[in-house]
Structure 1
């Protein structure tokens, strides 16, 4: 109640301050930059019948003090974020409309970023990437056709830094709780002779983490060279990251959480993850005239790394007889992968139609192997680093699409988007359990999308859309015996209202699935969520996103998402019997998610923001067990930004501060839930035993920083 009272008090006081001030008119432009052609094929515009949110570089910069990109997007509609280490740095995750990260399609300059095998997005390999992001667009639901694995809850496309006309240099440093530090240097030559620019960024992020010893050590870079001549833009860029993190994916059980919520059950000093990833992209944008433009994009990604793990009293058979039975061992489990992508798009545009046709082809090769680096009782004739399993995988992904936006009348615009996607996935060798893992699967998908936008007047428009998406199982699904694809049908109905002082985007969605792979709540032996097919299921929701400019000195951004997320006729094994539970809640899908920001501008170049996030209770499993329930939480942050413009030496000095969780809320944003059958306590009965784990998030903590621009 205290938090709610403060929330309402700030609202009333801020409105009062605004009473005698003039309104601020929004600035608009119809200019399309050549840089934006990079993401033209996977983005939509403001009038499209696709539900979406846009975020610009300036908005990201205000809280860019070291935390990962998902955490910076925490206040978007229907978004829930979490952090293994508790402080928003390292292994962080994002869910949209209750769907997990493996189902959020991510592209960078139109190039797929999701790992092709696991389909996950590992933000730990994109340290300080917000510092090299020009803009991003989050499309909720199926969205428009994109490249890579299909979007089953959202798609997030990122556009990296645009070219700079003038030379600049920036030095950014931030410090904060848990020994967190971020150091960033950015440079640009500006356009040389109006044709060439070279720019770059180097960053170092360190944090001890809120959880004991859950440290993060990230070293990242971004380098870019561009050639610009009239209607031609060629960009060659490379970016990469080296991460070194201590494991904290095991979480805490209820007793440990109550005893000491910052403890880490791992005791081995080098229980760490070590991974290197480098990306190389080449983009050629060409505008031939006012009607025709093209884009060609090429990508190569190299990733390699391992996590080190201490294992007690292992069986010799599980390690290819490299050890004696009941030996303690230390292993390294390696990934070594290559990812090649080629995209090509052509756009035709006139006053009545915009037509974009494109294709994308990618090849992924990955090796999975493990080695023993220590054993308390090695077998005779055994050498350190002998491999105990080895397997490889190849995935080919080809998609072709054509999308058109066209006028049906002065007030009605149509949208048609047709995509064909063709996937092959092959594996061979042994998995980490030393079991043969041989897969040869092929999928052919047709993904149509249709929509209409009706502009009632200059301030109001309505839209309706239907979209279908299909997804193939990921590597873990195949290992668990899942071979069928998932299908999602998404119906969206929305209303947009825009005036100088008020912008509202609201929509109702109904997403119904066949063979949806829902999270069971359990984890595998490397901390990845386990999924299972739920048969028929649906997500029904209402989303409202409102931005109000009360006056020059005060604005608010508020969003609310109400939803019902259900498995239909869900069956589960309970006490040794298969039980039909009827309709149950889909795991990790809260019914209510609210975000809010009060923005106050008391003086020129000074902004104060009070940020709030409420996430309703959610189940960590699909059986509606009270034991699996994750409590709701309401967390508030405070952000301050002040820009100084000296007359000499510096173009500007930006001072930033962020206090997270200002009311010191002890909350948990994520966890896991598992069951097993006890058939030994009572010889004539089977009892289902439930267990849970929790990821505690940081209590009150802060970050402060300064950026010097030359």
Structure 2
């Protein structure tokens, strides 16, 4: 209903212009106009940036797997992806050049997709988007100006398919390991009455997950309506998503809340240093959100409620509804303009079992006769609702070697954060606090107690001008100027409690009102002759702190806006048989937010400002057509990622203050491997395409201390996929069958993780005098998935 009202109002405002457009069926014109909608956020032709494009065919082949889009993007240079459940579905993350999701700008048809507060894209809420897309462009580094949050690792521009002039229906299904499945359909009416096109799609994905307790289901739907004239197109798209997924944000944790089982803890020789060691002792699928573990015997036990029933699992539940209305007008052969209005509604929550927690964690001051806080099992429900509305306007001019684009973007966001207790197992706690009287200790749905609530508002306005001028046949100069203004406010009470002098606890108070003004210039040039192209650029970008930088700041200073100067130098060769390229970069940061290795209570990677740091490296690509039936391709990202001066604030259980500061010179940034390499062998024989892919990722440090004990070892994963399209005549036009085999060699590796450490020299810890615990985010062993697509 929200989408229908939004569309009706917007269509009424622009229909008079549409009626003046001349009627002519022209598929190429529709595609050109559709491209104009996203031109403002994509790199211009021959732009001096590091760019990778993902084709429609690659997206189509990938869509049947049900895996989240970052796993396809990670086949391009310098991109890593991983999922909590180990099978690539559900809660999924990615990094570009070592920068996490909140530092990667993502747009859909030019409309910002990043959640305004935490600046992330939640890929679990975008399942099967690859089936809706015509192309994806990844710009590594700052890249050209875009809409929404600043790009500090890269930007991803998603473009939906242009309306189809031909009617079609497509059905797809897949099934594989861990009861993983994906089903869906897409259709188009084709052109009706020389002007109208309606199209739709629906996909659903489910899995039992590799990690215990991560079974889930997610899906997406798409409904579109287009009016197409000779030089005018109006498109309305409603894209909705839902997900109900089991969570494992703590990963496969080496220990319990109170005791680590990492080798050397309290002087014990457990032999557990890596995820492979966890797998060896039978804990490869352990999930501390789902079960407890005896640190002596490694026996796991499901969490139980007071009535003896099992806690089902921790789940994330979210609904999201995007509405985009776009108008593109080809004024003449040199001038085009577009306008997109957008509205997004989202609502969601997660339920989590908290085992044997201190009651003070939820603001209760009840203590026993020894003065220690009571303990209890809890079930908490934390959630949010959000509304975002905005507009994106672009105008482009192309003539006499000039390519000029101007753009304006405005977005207003409102959000509410809330937290409830729905279960408290300790009857003494329930009895002592009248506010908990509505809770039933055997039923989760018989009441709730609100323990925090806050509201947020964020306004984001920006404008840019991009211009390129070609001089002669070979030389092009680029300039790009952007101004961005952000106002973020939030007030209310947070989910953290501060002990008062009288022994009671009060919520952390939120009262934030910050305004940021950013100017982001970019300049560069490109030289092209024959099959050769060289380019260079310098780009500046600024970015505001995200919500967690304020609310989870702990012992670090108040967050500052961050700044980067990005220098790029590249060369490309494109021949008929061989192609290659090299891109050198140096990203010089001031006040970069870097991951500390710690997580929030819900698995979010915590960050802090670092005064001086940099990311530098080279990205290489190459491909050769060995024969008509064989193509070899490879890409590599080799980098150095350093903090010039880093002060670690670490808990010290032996110190009176409780904390110690340790200084490091030129340490390696966390989660920034020095090498990421992809190799491909593509075979094409009698219509069958087989692709072999091997990926190598070097060691990743889990914090910024460059300590090998707190790191993930290098790993390599190989996969193979088969696609066989069978063309037919008649109503059924084509049958496509496929097979994917992932992690062929059954490697037991962790692709990401977290670490908690504290100095405890008197505890007998030989590893840097640290008590430490690692949570490993693993990849499942060998998995197989079969695919079938019917095209009508």
Task: Give the TM-score taking structure 2 as reference length.
Answer: 0.83
Matched, 1:290 2:333: yes
In structure 2, what is the equivalent of residue 607 of structure 1? 689
- 2:627 and 2:701 map into 1 onto residues whose CA distance is 41
User: How far is 1:331 from its partner?
Assistant: 1.5
User: How far is 1:121 from its partner?
Assistant: 1.3
- Contact 1:627 / 1:690 at 8 angstroms: preserved in 2? no
Deviations 1:9-28 (A, max 9, x none): xxxxxxxxxxxxxxxxxxxx
Deviations 1:642-679 (A, max 9, x none): 01112233110011111001111111110112222448
User: How far is 1:258 from its partner?
Assistant: 3.7
Aligned counterpart for 2:489 among listed residues 421, 426, 437: 426
Q: How many residues align?
A: 677
Deviations 1:239-277 (A, max 9, x none): 111100111111122554442212222233131111111
- Contact 2:173 / 2:182 at 8 angstroms: preserved in 1? yes
User: How far is 1:691 from its partner?
Assistant: 2.2
Matched, 1:587 2:670: yes
Matched, 1:188 2:157: no
Matched, 1:442 2:441: no
User: How far is 1:495 from its partner?
Assistant: 0.5
User: How far is 1:505 from its partner?
Assistant: 2.4
Q: Secondary structure at the match of 2:220?
A: strand
- 1:287 and 1:323 map into 2 onto residues whose CA distance is 69
- 1:653 and 1:440 map into 2 onto residues whose CA distance is 57
Q: 1:458-537 to 2 correspondence within 5 Å?
A: 458-479=530-551, 480=553, 482-537=558-613
Structure 2 vs 1, CA of residues 31 and 510 (structure 1 numbering), >3 Å: closer, same or farther? Answer: farther
Structure 2 vs 1, CA of residues 551 and 323 (structure 1 numbering), >3 Å: closer, same or farther? Answer: farther
In structure 1, what is the equivalent of residue 217 of structure 2? 217
The higher radius of gyration belongs to 2
Moved more, 399-408 or 253-262: 253-262
Q: Secondary structure at the match of 1:60?
A: helix
- 1:394 and 1:628 map into 2 onto residues whose CA distance is 38
Matched, 1:454 2:527: yes
User: How far is 1:419 from its partner?
Assistant: 0.2
Aligned counterpart for 1:388 among listed residues 451, 465, 469: 451
Matched, 1:407 2:467: no
- 1:493 and 1:70 map into 2 onto residues whose CA distance is 26
Q: Secondary structure at the match of 2:57?
A: helix
- 1:405 and 1:38 map into 2 onto residues whose CA distance is 19
- 1:322 and 1:349 map into 2 onto residues whose CA distance is 68
Matched, 1:667 2:743: no
User: How far is 1:313 from its partner?
Assistant: 4.2
- 2:772 and 2:377 map into 1 onto residues whose CA distance is 28
Aligned counterpart for 1:270 among listed residues 313, 316, 319: 313
Moved more, 571-580 or 503-512: 571-580
- 1:597 and 1:46 map into 2 onto residues whose CA distance is 27
Structure 2 vs 1, CA of residues 483 and 559 (structure 1 numbering), >3 Å: closer, same or farther? Answer: same
- Contact 1:257 / 1:694 at 8 angstroms: preserved in 2? no
User: How far is 1:31 from its partner?
Assistant: 11
- Contact 2:30 / 2:163 at 8 angstroms: preserved in 1? no
Deviations 1:285-318 (A, max 9, x none): 0110011110101111111010001223445555
User: How far is 1:458 from its partner?
Assistant: 1.2
In structure 1, what is the equivalent of residue 639 of structure 2? 563
Q: 1:21-420 to 2 correspondence within 5 Å?
A: 33-64=32-63, 65-252=65-252, 253=254, 255=272, 256-259=278-281, 260-265=283-288, 266-267=290-291, 268-316=311-359, 318-319=361-362, 325-376=374-425, 377=427, 378=430, 379-380=433-434, 382-383=437-438, 384-420=447-483
- Contact 1:571 / 1:582 at 8 angstroms: preserved in 2? no
In structure 1, what is the equivalent of residue 785 of structure 2? 703
Moved more, 210-219 or 249-258: 249-258
In structure 2, what is the equivalent of residue 552 of structure 1? 628
Q: Secondary structure at the match of 1:581?
A: strand
User: How far is 1:380 from its partner?
Assistant: 2.4
Deviations 1:303-338 (A, max 9, x none): 101000122344555545599943322111110111
- Contact 2:420 / 2:450 at 8 angstroms: preserved in 1? yes
Structure 1 unaligned regions, length at least 5: 1-28
Q: Secondary structure at the match of 1:48?
A: coil
- 1:518 and 1:403 map into 2 onto residues whose CA distance is 30
- 2:673 and 2:759 map into 1 onto residues whose CA distance is 28
Structure 2 unaligned regions, length at least 5: 1-27, 255-261, 263-271, 273-277, 292-310, 368-373, 439-446, 497-506, 653-658
Cα-Cα RMSD:
1.9
In structure 1, what is the equivalent of residue 308 of structure 2? none
